[in-house]
Amino acid sequence: MKKILIILGIIFVSLMGSYVAAEESQTTTLSAGVEFNWINMDQVQRDEVIETYKEKIFGSGEVQSIKKKEFRETYKDFLKDPNVKTHYRLIVNGVKETKDAYLCGFFIRDDILYSYAIQYKNNQRFVYYYSALGKLIYVDVSSESYPNFPYYSKQYRANGKLSGAIYFISKDLQYVYEPDGKFKGVWYKEKMFDRKAKQILTRNNW
């Protein structure tokens, strides 16, 4: 369940997280030996890092979405959750894992399920997001190195349009990009920083 929570927390909490005004000035070393020094870097260094990971995700060409017809053919078995009633019941009752899949729900006021996600254990590179009625909303597609760090994940809407992308350095550190390749921010643990090292978001499920 930890793997799916990393993905869900970054994509959804980055959209719904609360803005904060605090900034910190410290250097932290990750357990994997990767140094997070974003605040102490100069702007040229930060821009170089941003471009490095953008290149790894998008390459040198144009950012590509998937044609709607191709998307619907590729994910034809997932456009509608055939077990929506079962999954709905399990999620609202707090079940996060079954024999075949990991589950995660998104709630309004903690009691109204408005969407949920499924990550099937037999192919964990993909995460499928559904409305409460079981209609596909998004698909997350991770690179082939998943779940080994580093890897990246791209999120597509149900019409095949790219919604965004994330480069995962570790559980603690991720670089987030808009669908056009524009840098959105870097997460370190529960905090997100923008291009200029200003803290802009927090998340509560890191």
* pLDDT at position 27: 38
Q: H or E element: which one contains 201?
A: strand 199-202
* pLDDT at position 184: 96
Distance CA 113, CA 131 (A): 9
Q: Which of 180, 183, 144, 184 is nearest to 163 (CA)?
A: 180
Amino acid residing at 107: F
pLDDT class of 109 with cuts at 50, 70, 90 = confident
* pLDDT at position 120: 97
Please check the confidence at residue 204 and state whether its pLDDT lies above 80: no
* pLDDT at position 61: 65
pLDDT class of 205 with cuts at 50, 70, 90 = low
Phi and psi, residue 12, nearest 5°: -80, -40
Q: Which of 153, 155, 146 is nearest to 179 (CA)?
A: 155
pLDDT digits (tens, 9 = 90+) for 141-164: 999 999 999 999 999 999 999 999
- Cis peptide preceding 150, ω within 30 of 0: yes
Instruction: Answer whether 0.75 is exceeded by the pTM.
Output: yes
Please check the confidence at residue 30 and state whether its pLDDT lies above 60: no
Cβ partners under 8 Å of residue 131, min gap 6: 114, 115, 137
The structure tokens 């929506």 sit at 84
Amino acid residing at 150: P
Q: Please, which contacts does 74-82 make with residues 24 or more away whose CB atoms are closer than 8 Å?
A: 75/128, 75/136, 75/139, 78/128, 78/136, 78/139, 79/135, 79/136, 79/158, 80/134, 80/135, 80/136, 81/118, 81/128, 81/130, 81/134, 81/135, 81/136, 82/134
Average pLDDT of span 25-50: 73
Asked if 155 and 140 touch (Cβ cutoff 8 Å), the reply is yes
Q: Which of 206, 183, 205, 182 is nearest to 194 (CA)?
A: 183
Q: Strand pairing partners for 193?
A: 186, 199
